[in-house]
């Protein structure tokens, strides 16, 4: 698998959860709930007054945290073994608010794995708001996440650093249940909920890992999908898959493309990777203990070395700030000013940790993430081997890779890459995970003979996304007979949700769902380039004066002060 990608979280963004229109939606739901007659959609919805809504065979309750109806469906953990226990799958149902028959059901599914989809409800509601008058929406927490029995592996959930040892310990803690939290079982849970809701074919939207889930669901339940949108997508398998072959080329392109399009950077000799190379050489020859402040002003301690620079460049966190600043920060570092690069390193420590600050499994389950990652995608080693034998197999495979493809993660070595956080490098993460039972072998998310249905498919890729690359998106698009891949220029990971650099992809998604055609997509080429920081100056006198308009009589030193103010404001905005 190319990557089960984590959609980066922003603490400031999560804090601003409530959209004013959601209040209006809640009022409409109250009016709808107080209606008197059966719903005209083939008797699917009966809406009595009070706090219960009957949909299909389910009685739903008003949600406490959302203007929606909440339900649970009890599902066997193991469909082949009744004694394995059960899990209550939680979901939110948003009935259409306009009078008349529903035009269909939307389903949105989250990235991760490990995040509960219902915690991203505000983003999904914002995306689909114009369609919710005539369409219903379902958001489900996958088994093992959120309110669907979130897995809690305490050592993995709270450890300062994720290690192969605490990943393996989580697998042993789960025991025989470790193989029962896969994407396939979660997809079947959704199908069961749709059955209970008497839903017809759905319009399925997935972002990041949600694109993996969406493809698995579509392959397992092809007649249930009217259309599919994969936002930040990758295929389920492919050549050399376990090594993530598109990861490094996309990372290099991200910085080089941004530099080429920035007037000041483009005037410097060489590519952006050339500009960064001297700093990398210094970090390789003389790593050191360092401190830097993250975006919240907290002092972080770490080792400044080549691996930490790789984490900044591959981790894409903070995505915009790292691209905006790294070229200038690396040049400053090579010239003796370490502060800008150390700040990016400090910020990345926080940005690449998917776990919630509260360490609550219901906010992000590191155990579920490990269970999915260690069961569904192919690995570089044989998961049928016992962990001790698997480690030897891993070492043999990596030694061979160093001989035949040492530049897999260039400009970093394979060992420098392996030093990054395990849940971003992936190739070592599952070496100590327990062997899966014979009934549910690892690496078989879908049956080998599964065929992608011929349905309308829209694949959206960010041009500067090295988590789910444009090459990954193209590979996913090839699986569908009539897919359309859109590449959003100058954009990063996941582009139809509110944190994207442009509203373009969201408009196209809504049009695609409504008409099954993307329509005019020219806006994907009109996203502004990333304005790179030209330099990190220690003194105002080092800055180039701001450009004065005709008639402006400011002196050069005053225009330099203006430049400093504008650059400082840009620094803050880049972190918002």
Confirm if 184 and 446 have CB atoms less than 8 A apart: yes
Phi, psi dihedrals of residue 122, rounded to the nearest 5°: -60, -40
Binning the chain into helix, strand and coil, the percentages to the nearest 5 are 40, 15, 45
- DSSP, collapsed to helix, strand or coil, labels residue 529 as coil
Q: Which residues pair with 91 in a beta bridge?
A: 71, 140
Give Cβ neighbours of residue 243 (< 8 Å, ≥ 6 apart): 380, 401, 405, 408, 427
Across 5-133, where does the E strand assignment appear? 45-46, 52-55, 58-62, 69-76, 86-94, 105-109
Please give the structure tokens belonging to residue 113.
Answer: 């794995």
Give Cβ neighbours of residue 471 (< 8 Å, ≥ 6 apart): 246, 249, 250
Q: Give the per-residue pLDDT at 366.
A: 95
Q: What predicted TM-score, i.e. pTM, was given to this entire model?
A: 0.90
Q: HEC states along 423-464? A: HHHCCCCCCCCCCCCCCCCCCCCCCCCCCCCCCCEEEEEECC
Please give the structure tokens belonging to residue 502.
Answer: 């442009």
Q: Give the per-residue pLDDT at 50.
A: 61
CA-closest candidate to residue 189, choices 304, 87, 59, 57: 87
Dist CA 240 CA 250 (whole Å): 16
Dist CA 101 CA 203 (whole Å): 16
Dist CA 76 CA 83 (whole Å): 9
Polymer length of the chain: 576
Give Cβ neighbours of residue 13 (< 8 Å, ≥ 6 apart): 499
CA-closest candidate to residue 133, choices 29, 23, 20, 17: 29
CA-closest candidate to residue 472, choices 216, 318, 245: 245
Per-residue pLDDT of the chain (576 residues; tens, 9 = 90+): 334 444 444 333 333 232 323 323 333 333 333 332 233 333 344 444 468 999 999 999 999 989 999 999 999 999 998 788 999 999 999 999 999 999 999 999 998 999 999 999 999 999 999 999 999 999 999 999 999 999 999 999 998 889 999 999 999 999 999 999 999 999 999 999 999 999 999 999 999 999 999 999 999 999 999 999 999 999 998 889 999 999 999 999 999 999 999 999 999 999 999 999 999 999 999 999 999 998 888 999 999 999 999 999 999 878 899 999 999 999 999 999 999 999 999 999 988 887 777 889 999 999 999 999 999 999 999 999 999 999 999 999 999 999 999 999 999 999 999 999 998 898 999 999 999 999 999 988 887 788 999 999 999 999 999 999 999 999 999 999 999 999 999 999 999 999 899 999 999 999 999 999 999 999 999 999 999 999 999 999 999 999 999 999 999 999 999 999 999 999 888 887
Residue 74: Cβ-neighbour burial (10 angstroms; 0-12, 13-18, 19+) = exposed
Q: What are the chain's domains?
A: 56-241+455-525 (3.40.50.1820), 245-351 (no CATH), 540-574 (no CATH)
Dist CA 145 CA 354 (whole Å): 13
Dist CA 36 CA 38 (whole Å): 7
């Amino acid at each position: 698998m190319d990557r089960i990608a984590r959609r980066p979280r922003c603490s400031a963004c999560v804090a601003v959860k409530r959209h004013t229109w959601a209040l209006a939606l809640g009022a409409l739901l109250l009016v709808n709930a107080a209606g008197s007659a059966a719903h005209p959609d083939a008797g699917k919805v009966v809406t009595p007054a009070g706090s219960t809504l009957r949909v299909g065979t389910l009685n739903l309750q008003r949600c406490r945290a959302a203007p929606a109806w909440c339900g649970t469906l009890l599902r066997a953990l193991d469909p082949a073994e009744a004694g394995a226990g059960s899990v209550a799958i939680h979901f939110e149902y948003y009935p259409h608010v306009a009078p008349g028959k529903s035009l269909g059901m939307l389903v949105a599914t989250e990235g991760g794995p490990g995040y509960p989809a219902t915690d991203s409800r505000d983003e999904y509601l914002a995306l689909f708001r114009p369609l919710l008058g005539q369409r219903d929406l379902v958001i489900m927490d996958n088994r093992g996440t959120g309110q669907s029995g979130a897995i809690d592996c305490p050592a993995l959930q709270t450890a300062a650093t994720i290690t192969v040892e605490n990943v393996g310990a989580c697998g042993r803690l789960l025991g025989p249940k470790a193989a029962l939290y896969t994407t396939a079982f979660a997809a079947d849970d959704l199908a069961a909920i749709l059955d209970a809701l008497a839903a017809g074919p759905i319009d399925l939207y997935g972002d990041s890992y949600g694109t993996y889930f969406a493809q698995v669901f579509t392959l397992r339940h092809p007649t249930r999908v009217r259309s599919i949108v994969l936002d930040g997508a990758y295929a389920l398998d492919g050549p050399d898959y376990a090594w993530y072959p598109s990861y490094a080329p996309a990372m290099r392109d991200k910085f080089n493309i941004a530099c080429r399009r920035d007037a000041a950077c483009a005037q410097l000799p060489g590519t952006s990777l050339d500009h960064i190379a001297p700093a990398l050489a210094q970090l390789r020859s003389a790593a050191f203990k360092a401190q830097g402040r993250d975006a919240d002003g907290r002092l972080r301690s770490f080792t400044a070395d080549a691996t930490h620079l790789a984490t900044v460049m591959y981790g894409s966190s903070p995505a915009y700030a790292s691209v905006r600043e790294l070229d200038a920060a690396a040049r400053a570092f090579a010239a003796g000013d370490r502060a800008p690069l150390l700040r990016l390193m400090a910020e990345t420590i926080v940005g690449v940790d998917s776990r919630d600050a509260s360490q609550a499994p219901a906010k992000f389950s590191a155990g579920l993430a490990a269970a999915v990652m260690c069961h569904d995608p192919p690995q570089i080693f044989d998961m049928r081997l016992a962990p001790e034998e698997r480690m030897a197999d891993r070492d043999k495979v990596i030694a061979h890779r160093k001989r035949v493809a040492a530049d897999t993660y260039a400009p970093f070595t394979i060992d420098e890459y392996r030093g990054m956080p395990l849940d971003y490098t992936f190739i070592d993460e599952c070496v100590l995970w327990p062997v899966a039972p014979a009934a549910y072998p690892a690496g078989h998310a879908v049956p080998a003979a599964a065929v992608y249905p011929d349905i309308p498919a829209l694949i959206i890729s960010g041009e500067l996304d090295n988590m789910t690359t444009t090459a990954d998106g193209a590979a996913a698009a090839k699986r569908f007979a009539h897919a359309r891949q859109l590449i959003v220029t100058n954009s990063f990971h996941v582009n139809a949700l509110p944190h994207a650099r442009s509203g373009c992809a969201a408009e196209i998604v809504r049009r695609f769902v409504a008409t099954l055609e993307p329509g005019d997509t020219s806006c994907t080429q009109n996203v502004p380039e990333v304005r790179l920081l030209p330099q990190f100056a220690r003194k105002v006198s080092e800055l180039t004066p701001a450009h004065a308009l005709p008639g402006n009589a400011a002196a050069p030193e005053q225009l330099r002060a203006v430049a400093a103010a504008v650059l400082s404001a840009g620094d803050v905005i880049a972190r918002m």
